[in-house]
Structure 1
């Protein structure tokens, strides 16, 4: 509903129609629009977490930068097609809505999962100090998320070259004089 019609299209009646339920069913479970939206956000986050955990189980643990690029490419492709695209559109609509409803922001806060741990492990294995690896993991995944958002809005796919550049930046280490290598 949300992906197809935006935030204004998310109503109790619209959910009832889309789910083939008798009128009033959704409002019996979620009395207010805020309750409906909160339940939706919780479900989106649960689906995203399950997807990331499943991807981590199916794919080999990334050992190097190219493995990490390949994993990120698979993730971005999934987020831009089919059900993943619909969920991404809904997630971004909810993220914008969280500006006005801070309780949603807490639910949408990125969670630890095996995918995040894998990114962090690649960074530390390539010499990024552990404290920097935490911050760079967040930055890298936020940049990837931004690319997904851009492609949802403007079309196209995220290229491996773009992902390679982001991974290279995350792997860059600082020398004693502050220059990167």
Structure 2
């Protein structure tokens, strides 16, 4: 059977939505078909196993959360420093909170990883690759902070984003201000 790449993306997006909205137990081929509005059995033609669904979800989330080239081009014109680092971090938080289905699906996968070795392996590879890319990007742009600092930012941003997308401690908190405070507390001025 010839695979339709657009349909595969549509099914992967549906899988992300199902995972985000129904959790891991709701992630079935049938639920993906229903969410995508395709005939029953379509998802199983594209993803023969749960492992393939997870791999497709991770790949699609990576695509959906990719930085906007125009935003990064504008940021890249500025001089390196704490202020520029802050704005890159704000962009990350904005992307994560602007696509809640992708971000919540990632949190769901992290929980599922505690029970399923394939999910743990796939997610660990994906996350560690992202951290390595962030460290490399930071160094190539001449931004402050070393690998340990970047890891601290991952831990902190995960918590901030989880807070924003679930039950916020303070619904009125200014996320941009929180990011700026976080950067200055970890990197200094």
Quickly name the TM-score band, shorter chain normalised: 0.7 to 0.9
With 102-111 and 25-34 compared, the bigger mean Cα shift is at 102-111
Runs of at least 5 residues in structure 2 that lack an aligned partner in the other structure: 1-17
Give CA-to-partner distance per residue, 1:106-158, whole Å, 9 cap, x none.
Answer: 3432424368623773215xxxxxxxx11111212321222111111114465
**2:44 pairs with 1:27:** yes
- Name 1:168's counterpart in structure 2: 184
Runs of at least 5 residues in structure 1 that lack an aligned partner in the other structure: 125-132, 173-180
Residue 121 to residue 138, structure 1, CA distance change in 2 (3 Å)? farther
**2:161 pairs with 1:141:** no
**2:167 pairs with 1:154:** yes
Deviation at 1:87, TM superposition (A): 0.8
CA distance in structure 1 between the aligned counterparts of 2:166 and 2:70, rounded to whole angstroms:
25
- Name 1:92's counterpart in structure 2: 107
Deviation at 1:20, TM superposition (A): 2.0
| TM-score, length basis structure 1 | 0.73
CA contact (8 A) 2:75 2:88 kept: no
CA distance in structure 1 between the aligned counterparts of 2:149 and 2:134, rounded to whole angstroms:
16
**2:132 pairs with 1:117:** no
Residue 53 to residue 78, structure 1, CA distance change in 2 (3 Å)? closer
CA distance in structure 2 between the aligned counterparts of 1:68 and 1:43, rounded to whole angstroms:
26
**RMSD value, Cα:** 2.7
Q: How many residues align?
A: 161
